[in-house]
Structure 1
Amino acid sequence: MKAKEVQGAVVFRAGAFRRRIAWVFALQFVAVAIVCVMGAYDQAPLPAAIAVIVLVTGLAWLATRREWQPVSALARLISEWHDGQSDPAALQPERLSRRTDADLAVLARGLQGFAARIADYGQRERNFTRDASHELRTPLTVIRMAVDMLADEGGLDERGRRSVRRIHRATRELEALVEVLLILARESDPGGTAEQFVVNDVLRHELETARDLMAGTPVELQLEEPARFALHGSARAFSVLCWQLIRDACQHAEAGRVVVTVLPGAITVSHAAGSAAATRAGGERLSFELAIAQRISDRFAWPLELHASGRPGVARVRFPDILPMRA
């Protein structure tokens, strides 16, 4: 008789479930056939024959249900599974009944391995976000503070000031990049704690930061506010999304204006790109900034629409669940 061994400890018979079900239906068929023959030859009254058929059918159903119990138990365990809270050892084939079919035991072993890999992935994610949050943010903060102190020095010439501004700009961009990667790396709690925030206030702060970084360039940043609304979600994720769109627009504008407009339930970032920038935007794939913005919009269900092939280039983000502002 064919059998399979799972993890070298418990042996499960292959096809045991099918054979037992076949025996149940075979015995049911024999019993029903005997009752029908006895009824045909007037050897058994009709009510007794019907009662026997009902009894045999009920016993067959009970036997089939008993054979199906290991499958139901495994399905119930999977439906109640919670990542990070449930123990993958609960899926070990050794915990199954010896009457379990070998195919079901192999399925349980595969699910156990998959659950263990998911648990390891979650642990690595938590370790990475914790270590990256501390080990990257701390030196960046030190660098930014040192650059700010250096910028206040009065003995720097114009060349030194330009170098300090470039270091400051690169540091702020690296800080924003770290924030982006940490938000996208967190699966269980992306972007931090949800809160209620005003979109216009966050945009105003991001534009002030962008003006500091774009100081000395021919790009002008402007905020238009024909509407005002609030959101309930991650303010940090929203600010990073807007910063990526503003950054991309500034890179393509070369010279001119970048306009951020707050519309009812949406924001747009538009720029009048030069001819070379417009050609480059229409002929290449998405930039790194737009790719990051697209991933954030997908994560938080804020649809991002890009119209960068024409002039001016426009990026629009829609927000399905907005909160109205009180007058």
Structure 2
Amino acid sequence: MTKPPLTLYLAAPRGFCAGVDRAIKIVEMALEKWGAPVYVRHEIVHNKYVVDGLRDKGAVFVEELDECPPDRPVIFSAHGVPKAVPEKAAAREMVFVDATCPLVSKVHIEAARHSENGLQMIMIGHAGHPETIGTMGQLPEGEVLLVETPEDVATVEVRDPEKLAFVTQTTLSLDDTAEIVAALKARFPAIVGPHKEDICYATTNRQEAVKAMAPDCDALLVVGAPNSSNSKRLVEVGARSGCRYSQLVQRAADIDWRSLEGIASIGLTAGASAPDVLIEEVIDAFRDRYDVSVETVTTAEEDVEFKVPRVLRQPA
């Protein structure tokens, strides 16, 4: 039986970013240095395949520090943690390694600097997301106010409208964030913003690649986890950029083939915590059903690399 033709547009860049790559490497190096088990507070990155793979190697994932024995190393996830967490680990004399993405740490430093200068912080982010919890937890309660939408800006109650600064979660939609920033500046003209945008290079690059290929695609698939903020934003960007069908899938088995009937082209990308093996799995699934020709849509080249903490580069 002849397979129908399909053009598969492959976004570049896609998948792992430098912060995710570093976080996974930290867990693997910790296991090599100290042996199993090594404890990890929260999922190291938001991807079930990655987490399961590290669990198989001896990583134990927990939600809170209290679940970790004091005599085993603990790693803090790439999303960052409230300031109280490493303080508590130090008080318990635990060995701990911070795998917070350096670009998230940059936001933490910004928030602390503004607070020292007497500014109350407004954070643009998603309530309940680990990165938002970690960033808001860098300062005392009430010093960071959260807004998620332009509507929130209209009702947020600040201490002094002349003494404000804002930071953002690193994995947001560029377009949505621009609307919220505009609303903040309109209501609080004196508000201070970041020297350089907080939304990270990887989030920006992956969204721009989707925007570039969306006009040529009948549908878009994003490989990523349902709790991955940057992956969900890619789905939204695809839909907003003209893809009539824009969906998130964790694995090839999650593809809804009935919704793709009659398509002649599809875009494929992956969130920053999705490994190449899952992207290849999806491509293979399409090759089983279609006569696939792959076209790569490149909008940026990435060569960013972050060093792992010194403690892991030293002998045991």
Between Structure 1 and Structure 2, the one with more helix by share is 1
- Superposition TM-score tier, normalisation by shorter sequence: under 0.3
Larger-Rg structure: 1
| Structure of greater relative contact order (alpha carbons < 8 Å, 6+ residues apart) | 2
* TM-score normalised according to structure 1 size: 0.23
Return the structure number with greater strand share.
2
Provide TM-score, normalisation by structure 2: 0.23
